[in-house]
Amino acid sequence: MSKKLFSALAVVMSMVFLAPAYAEDNVRIALVVKALGIGFFEAANEGAQEAAAELGDVEVIYTGPTSTTAEGQIEVITSLIAQRVDAIAVSANDTQALVPILKRAQQRGIKVISWDSGVAEEGRLVHLNPSSNELIGRMNVSLAADALEQKGVSSGQMAILSATPTSTNQNIWIDEMEKALPEFSQLELVDTVYGDDMADKSYREAVALLRNHPDLDVIVAPTTVGILAAAQAVSDQGRVGEVYVTGLGLPSELAGHVASGAIHNFAIWNPIDLGYSATMIAYNLVKGNSNDQQVPMGRMGVAELDAGGSAAMSDPFIYDASNVDEFASIF
């Protein structure tokens, strides 16, 4: 064998042996959101990028469909499988519809987790709830009761403005709200509607609630898109002080509506922490730094997994006129 041929072969062999090390040292994590252009998920991406900077060997691919559909997410995930990412962390638009494509991803060696809105167990390794589902449901009802107290009435009507009818986390929280309602006999649930996490549709649904239920006292929207749209609808319809809006939202988007009186208080966990935690979990699964009971989450501590592979990040936090402006500058 000539020296020239031997040298060429040596270069090729060195590239072959170096390739796995390179791939191992550079973890690509896809953060798949319900839809692009939603403030909650953009804040979650900030947390994901924070985790990537802290870890140093991570590339976060922030992506999602243009509308909140399972079909859109399936297209995105199909592309990510072709790109051979190391992990997919998805906030699902449908608990079951994504399972086949996510099972295919896992068969290709991709670590799959869900966060915020989960997929069925067979479609992922871990699910990260923002908080305890029971606590979130009960808190939403408690916030509605607070609104009645703010109005100075002893009983009243509430309605729910949700995201999509198939949204995993929304449906679980609504179930938990209904379970908690007997503890709040002053509240009567009169309607549940869906805005599909689209600003214009959520606004129209909120306006319809106001017209269809003239004695309505509270709209509870456990979605950042819905609560903002409902508050705007209450303001536009001249119903501030008559109908309060509450639920889950972002301080930066709702501070003005708290000041106007359309919202008395609302709750949310920190979406920055949620994106950070999801990225840390995905990274540690790729690196093998986990077991069936625990996965590290960096500065957020350790995710304690139940028998179904689910964990809760933290309790929701209540925002009102006393603190919303302080947090509005953060997220």
For the chain, give the mean pLDDT: 93
Q: What is the pLDDT of residue 19?
A: 36
Quote the tokens at residue 119. 């997929």
Q: pTM of the full predicted structure?
A: 0.86
133-268 has the same fold as 3-131+271-314: yes
**Mean pLDDT of the 111-136 span:** 97
CA 287/CA 72 separation, integer angstroms: 29
Predicted pLDDT of residue 89: 99
Q: What number of residues does the chain have? A: 331
Find out if CATH 3.40.50.2300 is the number for domain 133-268: yes
Which helix or strand (DSSP H or E) is residue 314 part of?
A: none
Domain spans, the chain: 3-131+271-314, 133-268
**12 pLDDT more than 90:** no
**Amino acid present at 298:** G
Where are any strands of DSSP class E within 38-173? 58-63, 87-90, 111-115, 126-129, 156-162
- By 3-state DSSP, what share of the chain in percent is helix, strand and coil, each rounded to 5? 50, 20, 30
Q: Per residue in 96-121, pLDDT tens? A: 999 999 999 999 999 999 999 999 99
Q: Note the pLDDT of residue 217.
A: 98
For the domain spanning 3-131+271-314, the CATH number is 3.40.50.2300
pLDDT of 24 > 90? The answer is no
- Are 305 and 287 in contact by the 8 Å Cβ rule? The answer is no
Which pLDDT does position 81 carry in this prediction? 98
Tokens of 64: 């999602």
Is 35 strand, coil or helix?
coil
With beta carbons less than 8 A apart as the criterion, state whether 47 and 273 touch: yes
Tens of pLDDT, residue by residue over 253-272, are 999 999 999 999 999 999 99
Whole-number Å distance between alpha carbons of 245 and 261 = 9
